[in-house]
């Protein structure tokens, strides 16, 4: 079974703010119960193009960390399409304790097999990819986060007539595929802001290779580092959910929305601006985050 275009429009919800601007969020997290948000679109052409060729002994291989939304989504695609999946997981120490990790447990239930590698091996993913492709020539190998040219084409589907009437388009940035697609296919008058949740100086160049436009700006929203969650992050996410009835996860969308509210308070956006944020899903990560927070005797994400 291939991934399909959604039959219902993705809702865009207004978020009230105390400034003379209008803020909205596009609920891409609602696109599919198991393949969430931008991951659906980043995988759309990667998976469909591969399976349409009817490869012999199809196998999908990809990379990710312990709580990766991408790993979870690829495993769900494998279950949906009845295709074998293999996750190359960063951290060989997880091999003996993955059963305590909710993301990996979910991926295993979806039928994914794992290969745990050291962080040093993982840093050289290009070399590892070449070895895997030689050993398994019929396999589809998708990079970490799903970011490649097919992913950028898929992100185009997040833009439509409903997104044209906005001055700013905002998304969280991990590997750069989503902001690249938004940049490439948005309207010429629109400005794109990518909220970096990782400390990666190479992202600017990487994104520039994936989009022909220079309409994007990257701003730091890491709040101490990738996957680091401070008490203010938790407080913001919980307050946001109670006020607007929209759940946010703490690695990507939570930090993006918190940073946007700070920018609004600092009068970054001109009066009268219309801002659209993309909810890129990944809500499965809340359980993993709360697992760690419990161990630290800290407040949980509701």
Query: Could you tell me if 108 and 156 lie in one domain?
Result: no
β-sheet bridge partners, residue 60? 85, 140
**Could you tell me which of 221, 206, 298 has the C-alpha nearest to residue 252?**
221
End-to-end CA, the chain: 34
Residue 194 near residue 179 (C-beta atoms within 8 A): yes
Query: Could you tell me if 131 and 200 lie in one domain?
Result: no
- Number of domain units in the chain: 2
Query: Could you tell me if 216 and 267 lie in one domain?
Result: yes
Query: Could you tell me if 125 and 190 lie in one domain?
Result: no
Measured distance CA(154)–CA(148) in Å, rounded? 10
Query: Could you tell me if 156 and 227 lie in one domain?
Result: yes
Q: What is the pLDDT of residue 56?
A: 93
Domain end (from 120, 146, 172) = 146
Query: Could you tell me if 163 and 286 lie in one domain?
Result: yes
Residue 3, in any domain of the structure: no
Domain that holds residue 135: 39-146
Q: What is the pLDDT of residue 26?
A: 98
Residue 257 near residue 197 (C-beta atoms within 8 A): no
Q: What element of type H or E holds 24? A: strand 22-26
Q: What element of type H or E holds 169? A: strand 168-173
Q: What is the pLDDT of residue 6?
A: 87
Query: Could you tell me if 215 and 121 lie in one domain?
Result: no
Residue 119, in any domain of the structure: yes
Residue 24 near residue 15 (C-beta atoms within 8 A): yes
Residue 26 near residue 276 (C-beta atoms within 8 A): yes
Query: Could you tell me if 154 and 267 lie in one domain?
Result: yes
Query: Could you tell me if 19 and 72 lie in one domain?
Result: no
Q: What is the pLDDT of residue 195?
A: 98
Query: Could you tell me if 119 and 256 lie in one domain?
Result: no
β-sheet bridge partners, residue 262? none
pLDDT digit string (tens) for the chain, length 302 residues? 689 998 889 999 999 999 999 999 999 999 999 998 999 999 999 999 999 999 999 999 999 999 999 999 999 999 999 999 999 999 999 999 999 999 999 999 999 999 999 999 999 999 999 999 999 999 999 999 999 999 999 999 999 999 999 999 999 999 999 999 999 999 999 999 999 999 999 999 999 999 999 999 999 999 999 999 999 999 999 999 999 999 999 999 999 999 999 999 999 999 999 999 999 999 999 999 999 999 999 999 99
Q: Which residue has the tokens 């940035």?
A: 173
Q: Is this prediction's pTM over 0.85?
A: yes
Three-state secondary structure call for residue 266? coil
Query: Could you tell me if 136 and 265 lie in one domain?
Result: no
β-sheet bridge partners, residue 15? 23
Query: Could you tell me if 108 and 177 lie in one domain?
Result: no
């Amino acid at each position: 079974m291939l991934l399909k275009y959604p039959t219902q429009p993705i809702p865009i919800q207004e978020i009230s703010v105390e400034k003379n601007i209008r803020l909205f969020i596009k609920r891409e997290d609602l696109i599919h119960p198991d393949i969430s948000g931008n991951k659906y679109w980043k995988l759309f052409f990667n998976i469909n193009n591969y399976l349409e060729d009817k490869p012999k002994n199809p196998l999908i291989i990809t990379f990710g960390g312990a709580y990766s939304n991408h790993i979870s989504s690829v495993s769900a695609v494998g279950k949906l399409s009845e295709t074998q999946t293999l996750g190359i997981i960063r951290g060989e120490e997880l091999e003996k304790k993955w059963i305590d990790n909710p993301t990996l447990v979910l991926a295993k239930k979806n039928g994914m097999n794992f290969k745990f590698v050291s962080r040093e091996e993982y840093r050289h993913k290009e070399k590892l990819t070449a070895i895997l492709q030689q050993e398994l020539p019929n396999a589809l190998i998708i990079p970490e986060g799903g970011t490649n040219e097919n992913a950028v084409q898929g992100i185009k589907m997040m833009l439509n007539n409903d997104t044209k009437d906005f001055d700013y388009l905002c998304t969280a940035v991990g590997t750069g595929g989503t902001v690249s697609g938004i940049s490439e296919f948005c309207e010429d008058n629109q400005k794109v802001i990518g909220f970096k949740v990782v400390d990666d100086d190479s992202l600017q160049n990487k994104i520039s290779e994936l989009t022909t436009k220079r309409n994007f700006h990257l701003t730091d929203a890491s709040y101490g580092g990738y996957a680091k969650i401070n008490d203010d992050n938790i407080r913001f996410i919980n307050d946001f959910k109670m006020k607007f009835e929209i759940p946010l996860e703490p690695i990507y969308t939570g930090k993006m929305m918190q940073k946007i509210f700070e920018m609004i308070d600092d009068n970054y956006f001109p009066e009268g601006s219309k801002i659209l944020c993309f909810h890129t899903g990944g809500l499965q990560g809340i359980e993993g985050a709360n697992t760690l927070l419990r161990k630290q005797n800290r407040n949980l994400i509701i």
